[in-house]
Amino acid sequence: MRVSSMPATASTINNPVVPGFHPDPSICQAGSDYYLACSSFEYFPGVPIFHSRDLVHWTQIGNALERPSQLRLPPETTSSGGIYAPTLRHHDGRFWLITTNVNDGGHLLSTATDPAGPWSDPIRLPGVPGIDPDLAWDDEGNCWCTYAGVEQIRIDPHTGESFGPPRRLWSGTPHAKAPEAPHLYRIGDYWYLLIAEGGTERGHGVSIARGRTPNGPFEPCPANPILTHRGTDHPIQNTGHGDLVQAPDGSWWMVLLGVRPGGGTPGWHVLGRETFLAPVSWVDDWPVVGELSLVMPAPPWPLQPGAVTPVRDDFDLSELAPCWISLRRRPAETCTTKERAGWLTLHARGGSLDDHDVTFVGRRQQHLSCRVRTLIDPAEGRGGLAVRLDEQHHYDIEAASGEVRVLARIGPLHTVVASHAMPAGPLVLRIEVAAVQELNDARTGPDTLTIGVEEPNGTFVELTTLDGRYLSTEVAGGFTGRVIGMYASAGTIHFDWFDYEPLDH
């Protein structure tokens, strides 16, 4: 896989630090290393795991839930269902990850000695309701699981057994909706309860309370919410779902989710909720969140080499890189790099991207502007390249029998936008995403998607240009972002390579 590097300077960093559909970040520190986990919803494998040495540049090292025995997403799992909000912790020499599968029995708890994996098959926590579970250990060795609501129950993390009824703790600002994403920490003389509130849309925020014990009572911070961009014109919106970490030099930092809306009113975000970084200071034993911006001062330590972004995959390895995700499952008989050497082979299940069980392999769109190309051999079936938000919102370019078609699904509307005759044999499909730079009027969309093919001589044939707002969360709803990838809708399709080229400047 060919890669490119994102430049870093000695004085500034670029936010988001993990761009694209990487929501609900949870972070832990072990020695000089940091590890981060995110939600994955209906995609398999689940819960991407990242590593960093400087909090700024992150590399995906694996997925915590990568085996069918760890992650079951039934075909009826809806988009934006599946895996919600993990918490990642390092305790007693092990890494602990707790998350919720809302379509298969609730909370899952896995452990690993190496966060790159393998992770254990998860244990269940049948006595713990809700979503957004957190883990914290007190000085007596008790393990407390706190979850959205906000409630708490003591558990045995080795067996999943719970002890006693849930205890209501603190639910944030009065009348604020959706108190969720709790994280409990022992810092100095206090236990701190950090939560998100206001819903994960424009009203999102982070609030905090403190108490003398992990069970409270909790005193709210007088400056709550300690972070929110609600009601502002800040380029980063929906800020919330934070997690705190202390660096070896004693400084504190927060990872959190946010979005980058584009276009006119109301603003559309297309990459999903992304992971941002902000500094934290302490005043009167309360955390104060510092500057959060797209370009911000770098931490006071040397930055590591630029973050590695996968650009091209020639499918020369026996297993797919961890950035590749599929819908609900990925059985080896439908997706393999071993059938034709140096090619990715997909065998069709569902008949289109409208189907829950379609054979699809994609990667998150991580840049507001990018160019995606793939060399496809459709001689044995029908398939192509797609930009997907969910089953009802996707744009596809599909090849079969000497013809290429552009398909658009927008809610209840499904249409063939354009078609083009091509000679039989392998061909290059191309989608170019361009963020809108100037607003023509208040209704201007966030970006455009130009879709076409490349002739054998390299000439690009544009088949259509589509408005990107219809592949946005503001139109489709839900919790995910765009995923761009390859699919098979009939028979067998082979892909020689996939190239993702960032075009952001």
Catalytic residues: 24, 180
CA distance 29 to 245: 7
* E strand intervals along 446-482: 447-454, 460-467
Angle at 50 between CA 52 and CA 371, to 5 degrees: 105
Phi, psi at 314, each rounded to 5°:
-95, 5
What are the strands of the beta sheet with 26-30, ordered from one edge?
A: 26-30, 33-37, 46-52, 59-65
Angle at 48 between CA 44 and CA 52, to 5 degrees: 165
Q: Decide: 230 and 205 in contact? Cβ < 8 Å.
A: yes
CA distance 65 to 41: 12
3-state secondary structure 360-371: EEEEECCCCCEE
CA distance 288 to 285: 10
The DSSP letter of residue 196 is E
CA distance 485 to 373: 10
Q: How many residues belong to the chain?
A: 505
Which one, of 361, 412, 406, lies nearest residue 391 by Cα?
Answer: 412
Q: Decide: 1 and 322 in contact? Cβ < 8 Å.
A: no
Residue 136 structure tokens? 């914290």
Q: Decide: 259 and 237 in contact? Cβ < 8 Å.
A: yes
Strand, coil or helix: what is 150? coil
String of b and e for 252-272 (b: at least 16 CB within 10 Å)?
bbbbbbbbbbbbbeebbbbbb
CA distance 420 to 402: 9
Residue 70 structure tokens? 């760890």
Strand, coil or helix: what is 476? helix
CA distance 239 to 420: 44
Residue with tokens 């709790």: 182
Strand, coil or helix: what is 470? helix
Q: Decide: 303 and 57 in contact? Cβ < 8 Å.
A: yes
CA distance 227 to 245: 16
